[in-house]
């Protein structure tokens, strides 16, 4: 197989067709779908709409909810620790607020709890990987906030709730959109380098499903730039952080309130008992469950631990039947399959085209609709491009961006993307890149209200672990916003809550009851949860592994 | 064609020990294939978090090379190891009390004056940043350039681990960017105005109406909204 | 004339008036200063240890950047930068083995060939001819002494003039219309970096240099080094002996005044403000 500038020769033939149609496409548009057309294509082609991929949950407060098998498997699993193995009489850490998760939501919660009067030595942040290792770090495209005169929070509200197929909880969408401009201003105070012109006017772009340009970005490292700044701030005020110490089970007190957690040091196998007046769950999403076998854009630790722990203590779940597939995951080369190609590439003007160089969809439909169109093009109409490893994808015609916005725009605004492909010999400023939908985001989660409270007293949640904000589909730029808005609200409201609470006797009875419920529901399994980390060891190793050390 | 790719095996040496892994994997996936299950050394797996800083050597070379394990293909004959942690010093400061005067960075990180321009940091950077240049810019108080040149830094720490002068480049860059973002970049006026409007309740009524609105009416409003080109 | 310009760190911070006035002057004289797009610290002090090549990397890397720009000359203002760059240059020109070792270490750069010359800005002016300077505002009635310090003249191999009896600055100042007096301390060291830890050493030097200049009728001291400027100017506030305030000026500032360029003089960045003196002489607008 001869390789020419990163692509095998047979793919080059298709690229030539893309180049041929480019001049006329530079002026062309494609009609956006009506609500009816959207519904039809989702039903036919979106992975979420396959009934056989889901089942009804057998136990717990959200019993009967329809969930992907991979999620139901974790909820219908034995708690990872045996309550009898844990000595709750010795408390290792005693604090006001325990924050579980060291990504965006957890860090924002810590900062705002601190601003609200909780001293840092009365909080503890614990995280499975390093502080900052999270999907928050990876978001590239941007963060929405309606701050231009021609835009407004109510308009942002309408876009978000329409994009979510009108299933979002209104109070949460209201909080999301009304808090947004204040979040951006807070970031400015922290020194986040947003893209602005020399007068300070934010350079804002469109995203899928937005009716105004309201995507704020920091080149294509938006998530990283925000995460770096808030983490630096947390380090400056000395928020105590335990790294590589995931929580494995929440603790309740004798009044049924969440009152701490059991942590597990993954490097020494030691457990720690934390007593806390309030717990903020900020563990992120479930991308690493590889729902329906999809590759994912998510970081290594996105294994739904928070969902499992919250469900063990009886928190309601919401909208977990819906999974976000990002339309543009890398489909070639093999080494980066599934990694995110930011929506900003389309925001800047790149069009999705098929193997014949034809534009086949409006480039900025909401993500689920765009994804369904890509899947139809590849599998319904057989217009996809097949990679050497047998995967299918469609072209994203990136070189158009420099044609539209001027030479150098791609390198300046999409440095991370250019770098990712350049490492494998592909120059996206000259050649299109191949994409296919990839598992991106957990739309639903632990249900919260606009105070970031879950249905269980003492348990707050912010970020991807919680649900209700986005309904059945999230718009681009609303996830960075979500973790900021609800991380902040969780921090503020938890700070208020701890003023009037004294934890009672700690207990793991809920884990025992969970075991009973499994038994009563007839679930027979050796699965345990939370899973903590996925296992990618080779089969030749796993098939001969001994668990003796 | 597909079969060939799947079955061709290469030899790699993970911390000195030989393993056979399929060709075409990244260093990270090759180590996993060989049986390593990461606790440290894997984060975003997509080149954004800097958790998988790696030191390696290629077949028949004397050079230590550095890269991100998740973004670099494993090659036949490679010697591999990951860097679990960099015990780097970070200055603590209150951003509110800083200014953008030229001496600000060197006052918090005086060790940058020890830079001898050997450029080892630049060679170590998996993002191909001009690391030495941004340290030099920091030294002469050019905060703009320090912020610009360090912007794509993932904070993997390979620069600091390789520096003969014990400089912690990635923390220096972080400070430069925050000072630049807060004190040099102009503030957004329209953002401030919008927040004033929100505080004054300018959108409360409209929002009240929307949150209470029936589904059919909401759908109609959504469908009929104009879209900015 | 186009020539790459190496600024040096100090000229971007505490010695800004030195750079600003030179830029203004250069524009009038038709010298197009091409500020190097990439440069690093000169190395600050030339390393005298013969085996310490690590400290020679900084200056040589800057010369590679000049080479990358496609030029064979670079000009600079600060005496320290001039000295460090040109001494390192001489070292590698005379020792191919050391050059090869450094080139091999800097393997991500193009090899340095030894083909760049470092030219101090005073030398550049002299080449053009001091008499050809378009003086509009002659420094009539102003009595000055030039102060060379160490770094422009020593060691001999890199000296911009006769190392024992330099005249280059005196010639320039005379061409600008000033009255130039000679004085015995013009080559004296100012105390250099002792200013950080041994302030008293520098104060003593400052007192001797300035009181001698004063005795010979000088109203201002003219120099080419930001560190000398700092020591002679700012240490006046720490003197134990009585001394009437003596303005210290970069040659480029007086050059700017004589060419009628008053916009970027930067007198507010001095300890002893030269403005009253120049006003008294009717030299400022």
Name beta bridge partners: A353.
Answer: A359, A395
How far apart are alpha carbons C100 and C92 in whole angstroms? 9
What is the pLDDT, as a whole number, of residue A3?
A: 86
How far apart, in whole angstroms, are the C-alpha atoms of residue B151 and residue B169? 12
- Three-state DSSP class for residue B105: helix
Q: In the predicted model, is pLDDT for residue C31 greater than 80?
A: yes
Architecture of the domain defined by A79-142+162-168+223-322+443-507: 3-Layer(bba) Sandwich (3.50)
Shortest CA distance to A221 belongs to which of B156, B173, B70, B151?
Answer: B151
Looking at the predicted structure, is the pLDDT value of residue B192 above 50?
Answer: yes
What count of residues does chain C have?
A: 285
Question: Residue B7: its pLDDT value, please?
Answer: 60
The domain spans of chain A are 10-45+324-439, 79-142+162-168+223-322+443-507
* Partner residues linked to A55 by β-bridges: A67
Q: Minimal Cα–Cα distance from B37 to chain C, Å?
A: 35
- Strand ranges inside chain C, DSSP E: 2-6, 32-35, 73-76, 117-120, 143-146, 179-180, 220-223, 248-250
Q: Cα dist. B32→B27, B37, B55, C3, C235 in Å?
A: 9, 6, 17, 55, 64
Q: Residue C85 carries which DSSP code?
A: H
Cis peptide before A530 (omega within 30 of 0): yes
Interface probe for C, chosen from B110, B119, B133, B165 (most Cβ of C below 10 Å), is: B119
pLDDT at C50: 78
Among B21-25, B131-135, B165-169, B197-201, whose mean pLDDT is lowest?
B21-25
Question: Rounded distance, CA A488 to CA A183, Å?
Answer: 9
ipTM (interface pTM)? 0.96
Banded model confidence at residue C57, pLDDT cuts 50, 70, 90: very high
How far B4 CA lies from chain C's nearest CA (Å)? 36
Q: Which residues pair with C5 in a beta bridge?
A: C35, C75
Specify the pTM.
0.93
Rounded CA-CA distance A288/A302 in Å is: 5
Which residues pair with residue C74 across a beta bridge?
Answer: C118
Burial class (CB in 10 A: 0-12, 13-18, 19+), C184: exposed
Distance CA A277, CA A97 (A): 6
SS3 content of chain A, % helix, strand, coil (to 5): 35, 20, 45
CB of B39 within 8 Å of a chain A CB? The answer is yes
Which of C10, C12, C41 is closest, CB to CB, to B117? C41
Question: Which pair of tokens denotes residue A26?
Answer: 């530079």
Query: What are the catalytic residues of A?
Result: 326, 346
> What gap in Å lies between CA A523 and CA B50, rounded to an integer?
41
**Nearest-CB residue to A130 (from B43, B71, B187):** B43
Contacts of A229 in chain B (CB under 8 A): 177-178, 181
CB-based contact C57 B102, cutoff 8 Å: no
What is the rounded distance in angstroms from the CA atom of residue B205 to the CA atom of residue A494?
Answer: 28
Average pLDDT over residues B24-45: 95
Query: What three-state secondary structure class fits B142?
Result: coil
- Would you write out chain A's pLDDT as a tens digit for each of its 549 residues? 678 999 999 999 999 999 999 999 999 889 999 999 999 999 999 999 999 999 999 999 999 999 999 999 999 999 999 999 999 999 999 999 999 999 999 999 999 999 999 999 999 999 999 999 999 999 988 999 999 999 999 999 999 999 999 999 999 999 999 999 999 999 999 999 999 999 999 999 998 899 999 999 999 899 999 999 999 999 999 999 999 999 999 999 999 999 999 999 999 999 999 999 999 999 999 999 999 999 999 999 999 999 999 999 999 999 999 999 999 999 999 889 999 999 899 999 999 999 999 999 999 998 899 999 999 999 999 999 999 888 999 999 999 999 999 999 999 999 989 999 998 999 999 999 999 999 999 999 999 999 999 999 999 999 999 999 999 999 999 999 999 999 999 999 999 999 999 999 999 999 999 999 999 999 999 999 999 999 999 999 999 999 888
pLDDT for the residue B3: 41
- Whose tokens are 């539209």? That residue is A404
Asked if A130 reaches chain B (Cβ–Cβ under 8 Å), the answer is yes
**Coil, strand, or helix at residue B107?**
helix
**What's the pLDDT band for B24 if we cut at 50, 70, 90?**
confident
Residue in chain C lying closest to B119 (CA)? C106
Evaluate the CA torsion angle A340, A136, A417, A432 in order and state its sign. Answer: positive
Answer whether residue B5 shows pLDDT above 60. Answer: no
| Interface touch B198/A153, C-beta < 8 Å | yes
Residue with tokens 């994808």: A393
Cα–Cα distance for residue pair A11/A386, rounded to 1 Å: 8
Helix (H, G, I), strand (E, B) or coil at A361: coil
Mutate to test the interface with A, among B10, B38, B46, B144 (most CBs of A within 10 A): B46
Q: Bridge-partner residues for C250, per DSSP? A: C223
The candidate with the shortest Cα–Cα distance to B162, out of B118, B201, B224, is B118
Nearest by CB to residue A184, choosing from B128, B191, B225, is: B191
Residues of C in contact with B149 (CB under 8 A): none
pLDDT band at residue B2 using 50, 70 and 90 as cut-offs: very low
Using the predicted structure, report yes or no on whether residue B1 has a pLDDT greater than 60. Answer: no
Q: Does C61 touch chain B (CB under 8 A)?
A: yes
pLDDT value of residue A524: 96
Tell me the torsion sign for CA atoms A202, A205, A208, A210.
positive
Domain spanning A10-45+324-439, CATH class: alpha beta
| Long-range own/partner contacts, residues A235-238 (CB < 8 A, 24 or more apart) | A235/A131, A235/B90, A235/B92, A236/B92, A236/B93, A236/B94, A236/B95, A237/A111, A237/A114, A237/A120, A238/A120, A238/B92
pLDDT-based confidence at residue B4 (cuts at 50, 70, 90): very low
For chain C, list the domains and their CATH numbers: 2-122 (1.20.1050.140), 130-280 (3.40.50.11810)
Domains defined for chain B, CATH in brackets: 2-82 (3.10.20.30), 95-184 (1.10.1060.10)
Partner-chain residue, chosen from B116, B133, B142, that has the shortest CB–CB distance to C57: B116
Chains with at least 3 CB pairs less than 8 angstroms from chain C: B
Q: Which two tokens stand for residue C72?
A: 């064979």
Report the 10 Å Cβ neighbour count for A512: 14
């Amino acid at each position: 197989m001869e390789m020419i500038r990163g692509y095998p020769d047979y793919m080059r033939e298709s690229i030539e067709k893309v180049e041929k149609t480019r001049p006329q496409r530079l002026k062309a548009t494609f009609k956006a779908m009506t609500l009816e057309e959207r519904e039809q294509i989702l039903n036919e082609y979106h992975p979420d709409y396959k009934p056989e991929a889901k089942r009804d949950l057998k136990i717990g407060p959200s019993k009967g909810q329809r969930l992907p098998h991979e999620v139901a498997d974790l909820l219908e699993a034995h708690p990872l620790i045996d309550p009898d193995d844990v000595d709750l009489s010795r408390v290792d850490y005693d604090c006001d607020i325990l924050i579980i998760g060291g990504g965006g939501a957890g860090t924002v919660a810590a900062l705002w709890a601190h601003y609200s009067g909780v001293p840092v030595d009365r909080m503890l942040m614990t995280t499975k990987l390093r502080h900052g290792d999270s999907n928050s770090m990876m978001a590239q495209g941007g963060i929405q906030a309606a701050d231009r005169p021609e835009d407004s929070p109510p308009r942002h509200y309408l876009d978000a709730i329409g994009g979510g197929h009108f299933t979002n909880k209104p109070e949460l969408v209201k909080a999301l959109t009304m808090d947004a401009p204040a979040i951006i201003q807070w970031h400015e105070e922290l020194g986040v380098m947003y893209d602005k012109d020399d007068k300070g006017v934010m350079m804002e772009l469109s995203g899928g499903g937005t009716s105004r340009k309201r995507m704020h970005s920091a080149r294509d490292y938006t998530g990283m730039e925000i995460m770096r700044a808030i983490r630096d701030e947390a380090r400056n005020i000395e928020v105590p952080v335990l790294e590589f110490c995931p929580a494995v089970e929440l603790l309740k007190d004798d009044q049924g309130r969440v009152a701490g957690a059991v942590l597990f040091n993954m490097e020494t196998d030691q457990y720690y008992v934390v007593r806390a007046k309030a717990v903020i769950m900020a563990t992120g999403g479930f991308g690493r469950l590889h729902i329906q076998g999809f590759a994912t854009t998510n970081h290594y630790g996105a294994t739904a631990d928070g969902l499992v722990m919250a469900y063990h203590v009886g928190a309601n779940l919401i909208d977990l039947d819906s999974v976000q597939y990002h339309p543009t995951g890398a489909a070639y080369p093999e080494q980066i399959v599934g990694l995110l190609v930011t929506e900003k590439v389309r925001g800047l003007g790149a069009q999705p085209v098929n193997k014949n160089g034809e534009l086949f969809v409006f480039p900025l439909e909401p993500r689920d609709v765009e994804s369904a169109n890509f899947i139809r093009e590849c599998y319904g109409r057989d217009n996809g491009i097949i990679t050497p490893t047998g995967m299918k994808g469609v072209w994203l015609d990136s070189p158009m961006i420099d044609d539209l916005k001027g030479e150098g725009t791609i390198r300046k605004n999409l440095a991370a993307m250019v770098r990712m492909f350049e490492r494998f010999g592909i120059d996206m400023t000259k050649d299109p890149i191949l994409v296919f939908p990839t598992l991106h985001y957990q739309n639903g989660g632990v249900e919260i209200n606009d105070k970031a409270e879950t249905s269980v007293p003492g348990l707050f949640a912010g970020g991807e672990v919680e649900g209700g904000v986005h309904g059945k589909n999230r718009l681009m730029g609303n996830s960075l916003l979500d973790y900021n808005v609800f991380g902040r609200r969780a921090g503020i409201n938890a700070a208020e809550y701890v003023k009037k609470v004294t934890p009672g006797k700690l207990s793991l009875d809920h884990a025992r009851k969970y075991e009973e419920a499994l038994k009563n529901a007839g679930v027979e399994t050796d699965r345990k949860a939370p899973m903590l980390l996925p296992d990618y060891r080779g089969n030749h190793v796993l098939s001969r592994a001994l668990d003796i050390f | 064609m597909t079969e060939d790719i799947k079955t061709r095996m290469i030899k790699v040496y993970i911390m000195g020990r030989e393993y056979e892994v399929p060709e075409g994997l990244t260093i990270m996936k090759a180590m996993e294939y060989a049986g390593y299950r990461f606790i440290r050394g894997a984060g975003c797996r997509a080149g954004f978090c800097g958790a998988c800083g790696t030191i390696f050597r290629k077949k028949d070379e004397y050079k230590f090379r550095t890269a991100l394990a998740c973004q670099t293909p494993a090659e036949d004959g490679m010697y591999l190891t990951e860097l679990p942690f960099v015990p780097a010093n970070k200055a603590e400061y209150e951003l509110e009390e800083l200014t953008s005067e030229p001496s600000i960075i060197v006052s918090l990180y005086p060790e940058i004056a020890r830079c001898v321009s050997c450029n080892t940091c630049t060679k170590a950077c998996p993002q191909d940043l001009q690391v030495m240049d941004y340290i030099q810019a920091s030294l002469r108080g050019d905060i703009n350039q320090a912020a610009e040149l360090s912007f794509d830094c993932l904070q993997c720490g390979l620069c600091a681990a390789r520096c003969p002068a014990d400089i912690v480049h990635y923390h220096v860059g972080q400070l430069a960017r925050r000072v630049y973002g807060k004190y040099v970049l102009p503030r957004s006026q329209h953002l401030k105005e919008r927040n004033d409007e929100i505080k004054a309740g300018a959108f409360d009524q409209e929002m009240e109406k929307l949150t209470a609105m029936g589904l059919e009416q909401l759908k109609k409003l959504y469908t009929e909204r104009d879209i900015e080109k | 004339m186009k020539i790459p310009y190496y600024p040096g760190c100090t000229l971007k911070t505490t010695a800004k008036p030195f750079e600003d006035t030179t830029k203004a002057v250069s524009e009038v004289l038709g010298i197009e200063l091409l500020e190097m797009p990439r440069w690093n610290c000169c190395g600050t002090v030339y390393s005298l240890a013969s085996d310490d090549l690590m400290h020679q990397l900084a200056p040589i890397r800057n010369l590679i950047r000049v080479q990358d720009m496609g030029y064979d000359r670079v000009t600079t203002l600060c005496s320290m930068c001039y000295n460090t760059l040109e001494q390192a240059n001489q070292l590698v020109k005379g020792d191919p083995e050391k050059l090869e070792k450094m080139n091999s270490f800097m393997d991500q750069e193009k090899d340095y060939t030894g083909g760049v010359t470092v030219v101090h800005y005073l030398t550049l002016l002299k080449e053009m001819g001091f008499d050809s300077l378009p003086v509009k505002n002659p420094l009539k009635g102003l009595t000055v002494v030039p102060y060379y310090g160490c770094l422009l003249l020593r060691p001999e191999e890199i000296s911009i003039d006769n190392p024992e009896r330099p005249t280059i600055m005196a010639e320039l100042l005379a061409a600008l219309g000033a009255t130039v007096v000679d004085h015995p301390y013009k080559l004296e060291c100012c105390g250099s970096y002792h200013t950080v830890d041994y302030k008293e050493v520098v104060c003593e030097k400052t007192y001797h240099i300035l009181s001698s200049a004063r005795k010979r009728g000088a109203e201002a001291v003219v120099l080419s080094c930001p560190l000398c400027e700092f020591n002679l100017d700012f240490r006046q506030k720490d003197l134990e002996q009585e001394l009437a305030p003596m303005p210290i000026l970069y040659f480029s500032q007086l050059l700017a005044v004589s060419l009628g360029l008053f916009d970027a003089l930067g007198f507010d960045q001095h300890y002893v403000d030269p403005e009253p003196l120049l006003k008294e002489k009717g030299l400022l607008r």
